[in-house]
């Protein structure tokens, strides 16, 4: 009788219930054109998490500044004008005309406009402005309130979510990155030369790493992913192991 009682009690202990995994924040930082966005997007989809492209937010701010005359022909920024007008704008993500997730600035889908080399050349200076970073950070922290988010950028693990459960720092040789970016531009019908793409990448690396506010650097507790010689499936094998070993998480 006593044995039956014990067995009944034990079988109802919570350890026998299926394990519920709590959601985590995955911060993916690293150099430009390391494939962070595509990787982060797929990781989010396979975990059923929300994906946030933080570079797109800085690009949208740059697009706003440029199209509203806050950046002149020589690249000089009217900081005062931008600081006054920026907070009234809404930047976010929803479906674009092609049915894919896209970046919106107020009521306009700006996904295509923010990816041009012209905006790429201007975005580093805009993203180095402290008031721009504060504006974007506020929006990003709201996305992270419920966890279950994969965010890629430059300072997510070091500044936006220093307590993120998993931090990944992605890098690759600059020539490899330039080649990948060049191919993307060509596939999209762009005309920039390989040398221009390489120059732009080097300049952006330099500005991102040396700026005073939230410079790009690997967080001490971030895991390094150098994908110079790695295929996309290999990167997933690498991540699968970390997610399973550290968090008991399995991607679909």
Considering the complex, state which of residue 86 and residue 249 has its C-beta at the smaller distance from ligand DC: 86
Q: Is 153 in the site for ligand DC (CB under 6 A)?
A: yes
Considering the complex, state which of residue 55 and residue 144 has its C-beta at the smaller distance from ligand DC: 55
Considering the complex, state which of residue 154 and residue 167 has its C-beta at the smaller distance from ligand DC: 154
Are the C-beta atoms of residues 165 and 248 closer than 8 Å to each other? no
Q: How many residues bind ligand DC (CB under 6 A)?
A: 14
Report the site for ligand DC in 65-124 (rule: CB under 6 A). Answer: 123-124
* Least Cβ distance, residue 212 to ligand DC (angstroms): 12
Q: Is 158 in the site for ligand DC (CB under 6 A)?
A: no
* Number of alpha carbons in the 13 Å side-chain half-sphere of residue 165: 17
Supply 211's token pair.
Answer: 């700026």
Q: Which residues pair with 111 in a beta bridge?
A: none
Q: How far apart are CA 94 and CA 203, in angstroms?
A: 31
Site string for ligand DC, 122-141 (x = CB under 6 A): -xx--x--------------
Q: Is 55 in the site for ligand DC (CB under 6 A)?
A: yes
Q: Is 144 in the site for ligand DC (CB under 6 A)?
A: no
* Least Cβ distance, residue 154 to ligand DC (angstroms): 4
Q: How far apart are CA 74 and CA 132, in angstroms?
A: 20
Look-up of token digits 């997510």: 156
Are the C-beta atoms of residues 199 and 121 closer than 8 Å to each other? no
Residue positions counted in the chain: 252
Q: How far apart are CA 91 and CA 174, in angstroms?
A: 30
Using alpha carbons only, what angle is made at residue 95 by residues 91 and 98, rounded to the nearest 5 degrees?
A: 125
Question: Which of 31, 35, 51, 59 touches ligand DC by CB under 6 A?
Answer: 59
Q: Is 205 in the site for ligand DC (CB under 6 A)?
A: no
Q: Is 204 in the site for ligand DC (CB under 6 A)?
A: yes
Q: How far apart are CA 238 and CA 110, in angstroms?
A: 34
Per CB under 6 A, residues contacting ligand DC are: 32, 54-55, 58-59, 123-124, 127, 153-156, 204, 208
């Amino acid at each position: 009788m006593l044995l039956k009682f014990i067995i009944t009690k034990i079988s109802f202990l919570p350890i026998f219930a299926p394990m519920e995994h709590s959601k985590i924040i995955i911060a993916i930082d690293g150099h430009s054109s390391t494939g962070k966005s595509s990787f982060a997007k797929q990781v989010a989809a396979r975990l059923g998490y929300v994906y946030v492209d933080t570079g797109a937010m800085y690009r949208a701010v740059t697009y706003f500044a440029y199209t509203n005359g806050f950046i002149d022909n020589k690249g000089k920024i009217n900081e005062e004008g931008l600081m006054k007008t920026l907070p009234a704008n809404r930047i976010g993500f929803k479906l674009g005309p092609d049915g894919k997730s896209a970046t919106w600035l107020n009521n306009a889908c700006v996904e295509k406009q923010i990816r041009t080399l012209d905006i790429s050349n201007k975005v580093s200076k805009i993203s180095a402005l402290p008031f721009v970073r504060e504006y974007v950070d506020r929006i990003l922290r709201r996305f992270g309130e419920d966890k279950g988010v994969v965010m890629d950028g430059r300072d997510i693990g070091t500044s936006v979510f220093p307590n993120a459960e998993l931090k990944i720092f992605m890098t690759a040789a600059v020539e490899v990155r330039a080649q990948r970016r060049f191919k993307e531009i060509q596939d999209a019908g762009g005309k920039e030369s390989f040398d221009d793409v390489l120059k732009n990448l080097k300049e952006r690396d330099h500005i991102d790493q040396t700026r005073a506010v939230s410079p790009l650097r690997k967080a001490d507790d971030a895991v390094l992913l150098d994908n110079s010689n790695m295929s996309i499936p290999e990167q997933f094998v690498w991540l699968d192991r970390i997610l399973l070993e550290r968090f008991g998480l399995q991607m679909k």
